[in-house]
Structure 1
Amino acid sequence: MSHDPHIPSESGDRSAASATARQFVTFLIDRETYAVPLAEVQEIIRLPEMVDVPLAPQNLAGLANLRGTVLPVTSLRRVFGLPERAHDDATRVVVVSQGTPFGFVVDRMASVVTSEPSEIDGTEGLQSTVDTDMLSGIIRRVGGMVMIIDPTRLMQSGAPSRPADRKGERTDIPAEAGAARAETTVSDEIQLVSFGLAGQEYALPIEHVQEIVQVPDVVNTVPRADASMIGVINLRDRLLPLVSLRTLFGLAETGLCDQSRIVVVSWGGQGAARSVGIVTDTVKEVLRVPRAIVDPLPDLLSGGGSLREVEAICRIDQGKRLVSILSAERLFDAATRLEGTTTDQTGTAKDERMSQKAEDEEQFVVFRLASEEYGVRIDAVHEIVRVPEQLTRVPRTPPFIEGVVNLRGAVLPVVDQRRRFQLPDTERNDRQRIMVFLIEGVRTGFIVDAVSEVLRIPRAVIGPAPDLGQDGGGAVDRIANLAESKRIIMLLDVARLLSRSEVADLRQAA
């Protein structure tokens, strides 16, 4: 056990203790002293940074990263129904192991004590405000008594029962429901990732977009490189050349800002795929548009060669919004020499390594709610659109349904994800987006605070979510623990975001 140096021990005073004596770690909550068996304590740590889990039991303080392991942390004050208090330098987390580690927050540590069996009584007749179901005994001491907490019962405490209207319902909603109908609607559509550049909107077919990441603090320059090449970065053990789309298009450079993003674009056939990061002013949306509103670039515009990278124009909102669709192949005909500046002499072996690496990763769209990060598999995201200025309210619908919007002629019910996860409301702003998913055949939009990036995450750092007794059918089914960047991303199962009864409510709203 990692022992806190500030915790005194009685071991020196009890050297003659019998072989049947037991040792306990003691600590204070409010004015009461409690203990847990020393043998079950894995370590004692300072209060770590934690992430909040939506719809989790009230007693859960959050999830922390303990040297690569996701650690659920319980608040003993909440368990005992005591008022919250600000954490200070004395606050500690006691980590115990019940097959998997979990921790609980205490006000401060006291000491390690040794007790004979004759000093330990049962909980019968205990006059205390503490629920005795969580106690396994009482240690009689000269200055009073110490209550022994049973870690197993503590870990099981506070898991809420499911709401009455969900009893008997399956929470593993099959994605196949309505899939046949969805297939007919998406076959005549294309999916695009749109981004802004010098006040204009451009897009790339989503199959050419590997991921979207923030611009790192350090970009390594390449001597004697093309003017449009910003440099190279290390993206998960591979060198990625960065190209300025502004320079490539002959536009004035404005420098990088907080909104700048790197769109990692791939092109080329199987076994010969290449990747380049293009730096854009901002990433806007993921669009799913009918092929009927996509027109090839007119000959008058393409003949001169100045717009050769643009292969089509998408007419949105009856032509009020025009999006230029780029060709990944044409875009990087001019950039192929850039990619060569970072290629080693073992190209074939490198391609094989990269192919193997891709198989060991999963791709997620990462978004934020309040101060936490969430992710959904990219293939579950139908599109990402802006939140309109006004949504149409539908009477007699659940409070988490914000309203409906007209999305290219179809009625789309919209859920306020903050409200669904019982988080505080926030004012509408330009960073918010609607993420569109298909749940039991119903296309549904979920308002999130911001969509931050498309991220490839190694499967090695993804694990099942701790059994937290979540409401909502356990929408958080996995956790990505990115220890190096000190990030914990909660991965959602889209099929579990709503129950069957809630999907029925959405059908009525639509």
Structure 2
Amino acid sequence: MSVDVDEAAAADLDEDNADYVTFDMLGERYAFPMRRVQEIIRMPAVVKVPLGPPSLEGLANLRGRVLPVVNLRQCCQMQQAEHDETTRVIVVDGGVPLGFVVDRVASVISIDPQALEPADAVQATVRSDVLVGVIKSGDGEMTTVLDVDRLIGSQFARLTAQRAGGGRDAAATRVPGDEDREGESDDTLELVSFAVEGQEYALPIDQVQEIVQAPESVSHVPNAGSRVLGVIDLRGRLLPVVSMRQVFGLPVTPLEPQNRIVVVSLDDSVVGVVMDTVREVLRVPHQLVAPLPSVVTGDGRATEVESVVRLEDGKRLVSVLSVNRMFDSPEVRDEIADYREDDAEMTTERAGQSDDSRGDEELFVVFRLDDEEYAVDVDTVQEIIRVPEALIRVPKSFDFVEGLVNLRGTVLPVVDLRTRLGLGRAERDERQRIVVLIIGGARTGFIVDSVAEVARVGRNVLEPAPELSAEQARVVSRVANLPDQQRMLLLVQVDQLLEASQAEVAAELCEAAVDEALAGV
């Protein structure tokens, strides 16, 4: 049941609620009613959320809960200051937990209710509509009591509505599905491409479970065979790791930050394969895929390759590998089986943690913007490509439209996702990629700072994002809270990245570019 703001303020003035937590901001003393304070913590690491109110510092992980953290100085229109060792976050009950950043926590006090003067009888340096009253002490000092509900309502109307309405509209949290691909042809091959020794290869995406960053090292097992590098812990499971370089008979190099481990399915087990780098997600028409020429099938290394993709008019060739052919050696399969037995023993020891406790999983493409991690459902990703040296500029368009790109004969609008989310532009560099997404049945490219991985996330760690603003609630609909990894992924609702009118304009730009190109022929 919702509580009227004036009723809550009156409760804060009630004689039975005479305890207050006092704190300092800009040299002045303020207070929250003790009954509204859940706990006081040090300033945590936060994940910044785009399109939120200016006062939002970000989202923090508080013992497995997602906690919005708010700059109280900003709420009260005060001069800003850097956080230091005395900075604290007061976690209050606003219907949902909310943390207010303050300069310093002073003490907990109990007062005579007669010492509290109502807000309308005093003047203060902060906005009067967020005051409950002022506590006057015998030594002449004054402590301003702030109204928790009005602070929340002034900055986070969505949270107030969510509390009153009992939760988020189910339609706002829907997971993108096959409806985003309506009208799309099935006559395509989906691939994940990667590089080994400067050569480009690919695996069918249905054979790839996920892609994770390589750790600094893998754990070597004594008396193990020579083909498996070792094992890593992947969310509580032992994952045998093989180097693609070793499969190809190349020298195995130490693990580097740019290396990725591609987790693939092999019969009834999974194997991690170390790649030099992972390049792109490709979706190519089958007519661009050709079987390996018979003249080279006798080569010892050619058996792993089942076909070749011809891109950029044949200037770029990508060899498509077969997982089964990569591991067709009985010796390699025996080694992997040994690791699988070790993993089964470790899993048995965890009797209280069954597969059911982990729940179902979802697959996401994870990318970075401004040092934060975002994710989109893998089914909405058409492909991931490099940013070309030049884009076709479009005059009199939206600020976030970078231009147009010709992708194998199809003109696509390209959006700077930083600008779309209000993060500010960044200089172009080699790590940036264009993630091609399906929006309203049309393809649109979004420039991101870098693509990190393809991650498999359990549904049990997915939760609705706090509704901090109307636009943020539409675009960032959920978060994946991963405290064990000290990570929080912001899950983007793809079909909300462009409004209907913006998507129509983008489509018109593409049509105009095609018409202009045809007119010049």
What residue is the counterpart of 1:329 in the other structure? 324
Q: CA deviation at 1:127?
A: 2.2
- Contact 1:222–1:231 (CA under 8 A) maintained in structure 2: yes
- Contact 1:20–1:116 (CA under 8 A) maintained in structure 2: no
1:38 aligns to 2:37 (yes or no) = no
Superposition pairs for residues 64-463 of structure 1, below 5 Å? 64-142=60-138, 143-159=140-156, 179-182=181-184, 184=185, 187-268=186-267, 273-334=268-329, 335-344=332-341, 360-463=360-463
What residue is the counterpart of 1:24 in the other structure? 20
What residue is the counterpart of 1:509 in the other structure? 509
More moved, 408-417 vs 140-149? 140-149
Looking at structure 1, the residues matched to 280 and 419 of structure 2 have their Cα atoms a distance apart, in angstroms, of 23
Give the AA of the match of 1:501.
Answer: S
Looking at structure 1, the residues matched to 241 and 470 of structure 2 have their Cα atoms a distance apart, in angstroms, of 42
- Superimposed CA distance per residue, residues 91-138 of structure 1 (whole angstroms, 9 cap, x where no aligned partner): 111111223211101111222221222122221143234222212222
- Superimposed CA distance per residue, residues 396-439 of structure 1 (whole angstroms, 9 cap, x where no aligned partner): 11010111100111111111011111113211111111111111
- Contact 1:473–1:499 (CA under 8 A) maintained in structure 2: no
Looking at structure 1, the residues matched to 354 and 320 of structure 2 have their Cα atoms a distance apart, in angstroms, of 28
What residue is the counterpart of 1:6 in the other structure? none
Looking at structure 1, the residues matched to 343 and 26 of structure 2 have their Cα atoms a distance apart, in angstroms, of 64
Looking at structure 1, the residues matched to 459 and 179 of structure 2 have their Cα atoms a distance apart, in angstroms, of 27
Q: SS of the residue aligned with 1:484?
A: helix
Q: CA deviation at 1:380?
A: 1.5
Quickly say closer, same or farther: Cα 1:119–1:348, change in 2 above 3 A: closer
Gapped runs of 5+ residues in structure 1? 1-17, 162-169
Give the AA of the match of 1:342.
Answer: Y
- Contact 1:159–1:470 (CA under 8 A) maintained in structure 2: no
Q: TM-score, normalised by structure 1?
A: 0.88
Q: CA deviation at 1:483?
A: 0.7
- Superimposed CA distance per residue, residues 438-460 of structure 1 (whole angstroms, 9 cap, x where no aligned partner): 11111011110011111111222
Gapped runs of 5+ residues in structure 2? 1-13, 159-170, 511-521
Give the AA of the match of 2:58.
Answer: G
Quickly say closer, same or farther: Cα 1:299–1:176, change in 2 above 3 A: closer
Give the AA of the match of 1:253.
Answer: V
Looking at structure 2, the residues matched to 263 and 179 of structure 1 have their Cα atoms a distance apart, in angstroms, of 26
Q: SS of the residue aligned with 1:471?
A: helix
What residue is the counterpart of 2:53 in the other structure? 57
Give the AA of the match of 1:412.
Answer: L
Q: What stretches of structure 1 move > 3 A for 4+ residues in a row? A: 18-21, 170-180, 223-226, 345-351, 353-359
- Contact 1:435–1:446 (CA under 8 A) maintained in structure 2: yes
Quickly say closer, same or farther: Cα 1:179–1:197, change in 2 above 3 A: closer
Q: CA deviation at 1:216?
A: 1.7
Seq. identity, %: 47
- Contact 2:385–2:433 (CA under 8 A) maintained in structure 1: yes
Give the AA of the match of 1:340.
Answer: A
Quickly say closer, same or farther: Cα 1:385–1:489, change in 2 above 3 A: same
Quickly say closer, same or farther: Cα 1:180–1:63, change in 2 above 3 A: closer
Quickly say closer, same or farther: Cα 1:300–1:98, change in 2 above 3 A: same
- Contact 1:172–1:495 (CA under 8 A) maintained in structure 2: no
- Superimposed CA distance per residue, residues 204-262 of structure 1 (whole angstroms, 9 cap, x where no aligned partner): 00000000111123412133434331111111121111011111111122322111110
Quickly say closer, same or farther: Cα 1:316–1:357, change in 2 above 3 A: farther
Q: CA deviation at 1:38?
A: 0.9
Q: SS of the residue aligned with 1:93?
A: strand
Q: CA deviation at 1:315?
A: 0.6
Give the AA of the match of 1:234.
Answer: D
Q: CA deviation at 1:344?
A: 2.0
Looking at structure 2, the residues matched to 114 and 339 of structure 1 have their Cα atoms a distance apart, in angstroms, of 66
More moved, 227-236 vs 18-27? 18-27
Quickly say closer, same or farther: Cα 1:68–1:121, change in 2 above 3 A: same
- Superimposed CA distance per residue, residues 175-215 of structure 1 (whole angstroms, 9 cap, x where no aligned partner): 77774322x3xx11111000000010000000000001111
Looking at structure 1, the residues matched to 300 and 354 of structure 2 have their Cα atoms a distance apart, in angstroms, of 34
Quickly say closer, same or farther: Cα 1:57–1:122, change in 2 above 3 A: same
Q: CA deviation at 1:71?
A: 0.7
Q: SS of the residue aligned with 2:503?
A: helix
- Contact 2:52–2:472 (CA under 8 A) maintained in structure 1: no
- Contact 1:365–1:453 (CA under 8 A) maintained in structure 2: yes
Q: CA deviation at 1:160?
A: 7.4
- Contact 2:212–2:455 (CA under 8 A) maintained in structure 1: yes
Q: SS of the residue aligned with 1:430?
A: coil
Give the AA of the match of 2:499.
Answer: S
- Contact 2:403–2:414 (CA under 8 A) maintained in structure 1: yes
Q: SS of the residue aligned with 1:223?
A: coil
- Contact 2:180–2:380 (CA under 8 A) maintained in structure 1: no
- Contact 1:405–1:413 (CA under 8 A) maintained in structure 2: yes
Looking at structure 1, the residues matched to 215 and 104 of structure 2 have their Cα atoms a distance apart, in angstroms, of 40
- Contact 1:432–1:447 (CA under 8 A) maintained in structure 2: yes
Query: How many residues are treated as equivalent by the alignment?
Result: 477
Looking at structure 2, the residues matched to 316 and 384 of structure 1 have their Cα atoms a distance apart, in angstroms, of 14
- Superimposed CA distance per residue, residues 316-335 of structure 1 (whole angstroms, 9 cap, x where no aligned partner): 10110110000111111123
Q: SS of the residue aligned with 1:455?
A: strand
Quickly say closer, same or farther: Cα 1:46–1:348, change in 2 above 3 A: closer
More moved, 339-348 vs 141-150? 339-348
What residue is the counterpart of 2:519 in the other structure? none
